[in-house]
Amino acid sequence: MGAETAEVVICGAGIAGVAAAYHLAVRRGVRSVVLVDERPPLSLTSDKSAESYRNWWPGPGDDMAALMNRSIDLMEELARESDNVFLMNRRGYLFATAQPEQIPGYVKAAEDAAARGVGPLRLHRSAGGDYRPSPATGYEGQPTGTDVVTDPELIRRHFPYLAEDTVGLLHARRCGWFSGQQLGMFMLERAREAGVRLIEGRVDGVETAGGRVIGARVSGAGGRRTIGTPRFVNAAGPHVKTVGRLLDVEIPVFCERHAKVAFHDTQAVVPRHAPMMIWTDPVRLPWSDDEREELGQAESLRHLLEEMPAGVHGRPEGGGDSPIMLGVWTYDVEPMEPRFPVEFDPAYAEIVIRGMTRLIPGLRAYVPRLPKHFVDGGYYTKTEENRLLSGPLPVEGAYVLGGLSGYGMMSSNGAADLLADYIAERPLPRYAPAFRLDRYESPAYRALLADWGDSGQL
């Protein structure tokens, strides 16, 4: 039997590795792609996501919006091709505030977004306007860009379940959610039909000769093997740094732990057709007098009496009959070493549900006794400015597809399409330089980093 070889070995079968395999084999016709993972595909971080997407991304520049628009274009193509097997919708992200002073900021953000290619701004200051709500299902024929709504009657008419003191809404339209697992499995099946081999095992070495990749060492149930290959893609998710070290390349990322809670909205407080809703004001959690006193006495819990950061968000999950709501609140993030299984704040569900009552007061029904709920999550693997890495590494034949942070489900198609262009030696899109590792070597980029601003994380 001849030595085992491949044109490309991809380490990691999360959404990044699966998308890379798909774009290489199916869309670029690269033969002999091997996908290696020590776990079942899509099972480490890629099945923990809130599965939402948006082209609503901040600058500097328009690279992030351009990559994300490309990624969403590709997901829409896949949705058409698969009869929307992954249930992509286009309900939008609805940012809401009770602070009138935030409204000029909403308008400015939407104007800036329009200049970045997110789509046009429509202002709705009176009830007679042409605000068009999103349909519950489907993604075709919908507006792009942003609606900013400040007319109280319009707000109440379309979103009667939001807090009564809501004075402004920013509805970003090329946004929604989908089943990440179904999308990943669809791409994996197409990739396997196009010849991609999935191998169970751990990549524990990358062999080089004369400064270029010649093989990947894999250990697994069947023992150790070396796959001879001229190209190696590091798509190892939270382990991208460790796998980078197999090549003596330092990948500049860190991990943050993030969770989400799924809870039963048994009293149907939130209509099933609602969009993703994000409260952009800081929040004070509602507590009874007794609870206040108790919290005040416990040093580790006293902070829960203070103002908590803006950004609590949530949305309905599942089809028509599902009672599930998802809630997310990034109120506490610290860089940490990824450790599995991941442990979460035991109070996370209660804090998020209480926080969401500020946005959707009807959820107070669940405060005295929390509904049935489930908390899970994983790590956001991030670069310092929260922009992913897709492109070549300093070792010839080595590439990275990582740092996908909290937006890897939505960006993986765009990022993998870009990577496939490098590997298949196709012309690169104009946003390519913004996602290369060697951007950090540019003094101009380092200067930009020092004054970066909004990272786009919710």
Ligand X SMILES: Cc1cc2nc3c(=O)[nH]c(=O)nc-3n(C[C@H](O)[C@H](O)[C@H](O)COP(=O)(O)OP(=O)(O)OC[C@H]3O[C@@H](n4cnc5c(N)ncnc54)[C@H](O)[C@@H]3O)c2cc1C
Q: Between 75 and 149, name the residue whose CB sits nearer to ligand X.
A: 75
Q: Between 163 and 401, name the residue whose CB sits nearer to ligand X.
A: 401
Q: Between 51 and 265, name the residue whose CB sits nearer to ligand X.
A: 51
- Within 8 A by CB and 6+ apart from 145, the residues are 110, 113, 114, 118, 119, 120, 121, 122, 172, 173, 174
Q: Between 53 and 131, name the residue whose CB sits nearer to ligand X.
A: 53
| Buried b or exposed e, range 192-224, using 16+ CB within 10 angstroms | bebebbbbebbbeebbbeeeebebbbbebeeee
Q: How far is the CB of 128 from ligand X (least distance, A)?
A: 35
Q: How far is the CB of 67 from ligand X (least distance, A)?
A: 12
Angle subtended at Cα 382 by Cα 381 and Cα 387, rounded to the nearest 5 degrees:
130
Q: Between 259 and 434, name the residue whose CB sits nearer to ligand X.
A: 259
Q: How far is the CB of 42 from ligand X (least distance, A)?
A: 6
Q: How far is the CB of 157 from ligand X (least distance, A)?
A: 28
Residues in the chain: 458
Q: Between 90 and 122, name the residue whose CB sits nearer to ligand X.
A: 90
Q: Between 49 and 229, name the residue whose CB sits nearer to ligand X.
A: 49
Residue 99 carries which DSSP code? -
Q: How far is the CB of 406 from ligand X (least distance, A)?
A: 5
Q: Which two tokens stand for residue 127?
A: 């009830």
3-state secondary structure of 245: helix
Q: How far is the CB of 172 from ligand X (least distance, A)?
A: 14
Q: How far is the CB of 243 from ligand X (least distance, A)?
A: 5
Q: Which burial class, exposed, middle or buried, applies to 81 when counting CB atoms under 10 A from its CB (0-12, 13-18, 19+)?
A: exposed
Under the rule (CB under 6 A), what is the footprint of ligand X? 11-17, 36-39, 44-46, 48-53, 202-203, 235-239, 243, 258-260, 377-378, 380, 402, 404-410
Q: Which burial class, exposed, middle or buried, applies to 306 when counting CB atoms under 10 A from its CB (0-12, 13-18, 19+)?
A: exposed
Strands of the 33-37 sheet, one edge to the other? 197-200, 33-37, 8-11, 232-234, 398-402, 389-392
